[in-house]
């Protein structure tokens, strides 16, 4: 059986605890782990945003198709995606709003999507693009980093 006094004397010993060298070794190991894991986690986050942008563009494409079924044409470039929320003046049979949000949709980087109708590409009715992570200026298909409707 151990003596209770011997246990309490160890707890009050000023020499017990971690040395500075032990703490530095632990900090160095943590820094190495963070240095190896953080870049991979950031790459994963960037890839997730691209995936969300592609899915959002696909969803907005479906909503634009519903608009065309009701109105007969896709919104013009001037009307833009706002035509999915607010009825354009010349739109007959408009059954909107087609989006729940009262603001125009934004991409995962919080930049507005660019919309152009008619499309500048053969075989497409419209261009719906996100500028991606750079998110500056107008975006067109084929531009570096642009994510557009297929």
pLDDT in tens, 12-31: 666 678 888 999 999 999 99
Q: Which domain holds residue 121?
A: 28-148
List, edge to edge, every strand of the sheet that includes 114-116: 114-116, 127-130, 147-148
Q: How many domains does the chain have?
A: 1
Q: What is the pLDDT of residues 128-137, one digit of tens each?
A: 998 887 766 5
Domain-located, residue 12 = no
Domain-located, residue 7 = no
Domain-located, residue 2 = no
Domain-located, residue 80 = yes
**Helix, strand, coil tally for the chain in percent (to 5):** 45, 5, 50
Domain-located, residue 88 = yes
User: What would the mean pLDDT of 71-84 be, rounded to a whole number?
Assistant: 90
Report the DSSP beta bridge partners of residue 148.
Answer: 129
Question: Residues 51-83, buried b or exposed e (16+ Cβ, 10 A)?
Answer: eebbebbeebeeebeebeeebeebbeeebbbeb
CATH number at residue 111: 3.30.700.10
Global confidence as pTM: 0.65
């Amino acid at each position: 059986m151990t003596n209770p006094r011997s246990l309490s004397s160890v707890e009050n010993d000023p020499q017990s605890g971690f040395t500075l060298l032990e703490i530095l070794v632990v900090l160095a190991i943590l820094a190495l782990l963070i240095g190896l894991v953080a870049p991979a986690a950031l790459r994963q986050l960037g890839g997730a945003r691209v995936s969300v942008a592609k899915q959002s563009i696909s969803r907005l494409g479906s909503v634009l198709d519903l608009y065309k079924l009701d109105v007969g044409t896709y919104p013009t470039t001037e009307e833009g995606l706002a035509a999915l929320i607010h009825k354009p003046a010349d739109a007959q049979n408009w059954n909107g709003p087609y989006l729940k949000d009262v603001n125009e949709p934004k991409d995962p980087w919080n930049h507005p999507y660019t919309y152009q109708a008619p499309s500048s590409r053969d075989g497409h009715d419209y261009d719906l693009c996100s500028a991606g992570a750079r998110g500056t200026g107008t975006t067109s298909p084929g531009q570096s980093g642009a994510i557009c409707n297929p």
